[in-house]
Amino acid sequence: VAPPLLLQPLRIRGLRLAWRALQAPLAGYSDRAFRLMCWRYGRPGLLATEMISARAAVEGTRRQEEYMALHPEEGPVQFQLWGTEPDALAEAARICADRGAAAIDLNCGCPVRKVTASGAGVALMRDPPLLGRCVAALRRATDLPVSAKIRLGPEREGWNGAAVARLVEDAGADLLTVHGRHGRERYATPVRVEAVAAIAEAVSLPVIGNGDVRDAASAQALVRRAGVDGVMIGRGCMGDPWVFDRLRAELSGEAWEPPSLAERGRVLLENFRLLIMDMGEDRAVRHVRKLACYYSRGLPGARSFRLSLNRCGTAEAFEESVRTHFHGAAAPGSAGA
């Protein structure tokens, strides 16, 4: 029997994804330390950067350089650009290609005001012709796979996702990702699978479905009900770099052993040390306090751990707290052994 669709490779232009579960771009999270953890412990079909400002990338700001820096060990990475100027996007795509991008994605879904105020992110869906010109500019600039990540529509009403998807396809994109919410919706609203299906139906390029996927049941339901060619996981990776490994095992019908608390603590510390190397101790400590909350989901004593994070001002204090809460929790039964 054929393996489940999600376990089959997907070819997008010159790029072959080993399987069809992708890591989503997560601004403020999907830095290279985060991606490396996802890769080491889950090997998703494709990784994604944080969103990179096309204009700032062209100007060569230090922050965008950081976003574009790859780790030699990580798997294929999609670089996500945001912006509204076709020329800047094209130039930024060439820079991304230079930095080792495996694919280029255009952000057409970000609802944050700082981004939409300039007409970018999900605001691009209000100007489909411009969105199409942006994709076409990326297409002309690079031979790498080009994609767009859209929502159902920019506003509460009058969703134009299917029309935008057709424009994206006509502009020469190789892949489309659809996040099944509109631009005004927050994550508490369940993803609208039928609306994703209508968009997938409207185009013939491969479509990746996104929203609320956390395990094999939710992934397969999205594939079956929306008719998409793969899935992308966002929040499910936060604090859980094993999510892809678990998904692969579930899809293959294999048993899967969850990491012990001690292992989770160890990986959190591994992630933290990479962050220190990339951003220095002060920024790393501030950042890891957010990240550690996700790693502590389901941890006995999670509350006490989260409270302790407020008092962690140094790398040493943070590491000590992780050792106490994660390793201590793993100890019962082994005490004295």
Catalytic residues: 110
Helix (H) or strand (E) holding 194: helix 193-202
Question: Number of residues in contact with ligand FMN, rule: CB under 6 A?
Answer: 22
Q: Which of 42, 75, 154, 211 binds ligand FMN (CB under 6 A)?
A: 211
The two tokens of residue 277 are 């190397």
Is the CB of residue 105 less than 8 Å from the CB of residue 79? yes
Angle at 301 between CA 295 and CA 303, to 5 degrees: 75
Closest CA to 103 of 135, 143, 44: 143
Binding part of the chain for ligand FMN, among 19-27, 167-175, 245-253, 294-302 by CB under 6 A, reads 19-27
User: Whole-angstrom Cα distance, residue 284 to residue 191?
Assistant: 33
Q: How far is the CB of 299 from ligand FMN (least distance, A)?
A: 21
Query: Would you give the binding string for ligand FMN spanning residues 171-190, x where CB under 6 A is met?
Result: --------x-----------
Angle at 3 between CA 2 and CA 4, to 5 degrees: 115
Q: How far is the CB of 161 from ligand FMN (least distance, A)?
A: 14
Q: How far is the CB of 248 from ligand FMN (least distance, A)?
A: 17
Q: Which is nearer to ligand FMN, 296 or 321 (by Cβ)?
A: 296
Q: Does 147 participate in binding ligand FMN (rule CB under 6 A)?
A: no
The two tokens of residue 79 are 């670089």
**Among all chains, which residue has been given the structure tokens 């012709």?**
129
Q: Does 273 participate in binding ligand FMN (rule CB under 6 A)?
A: no
Q: Which residue is nearest to ligand FMN (CB)?
A: 234
Q: How far is the CB of 192 from ligand FMN (least distance, A)?
A: 12
Q: Which is nearer to ligand FMN, 231 or 261 (by Cβ)?
A: 231
**Among all chains, which residue has been given the structure tokens 């899809």?**
251
Binding part of the chain for ligand FMN, among 66-74, 93-101, 153-161, 228-236 by CB under 6 A, reads 228-236
User: Whole-angstrom Cα distance, residue 277 to residue 57?
Assistant: 22
Query: Would you give the binding string for ligand FMN spanning residues 49-68, x where CB under 6 A is met?
Result: -xx-----------------
Binding part of the chain for ligand FMN, among 34-42, 231-239, 259-267, 309-317 by CB under 6 A, reads 231-239
**Cβ atoms within 10 A of the Cβ of 332, count?**
8
Q: Which is nearer to ligand FMN, 206 or 325 (by Cβ)?
A: 206
Residues 69-98 that bind ligand FMN (CB under 6 A): 80
**Cβ atoms within 10 A of the Cβ of 260, count?**
13
The residue ranges of DSSP E strands in 145-270, in sequence order, are 146-151, 175-179, 207-210, 230-233
Binding part of the chain for ligand FMN, among 32-40, 233-241, 258-266, 282-290 by CB under 6 A, reads 233-241
User: Whole-angstrom Cα distance, residue 164 to residue 153?
Assistant: 9
DSSP letter (8 states) at residue 327: I
Chain residues binding ligand FMN by CB under 6 A are 24-29, 50-51, 80, 107, 109-110, 149, 179, 210-213, 233-236
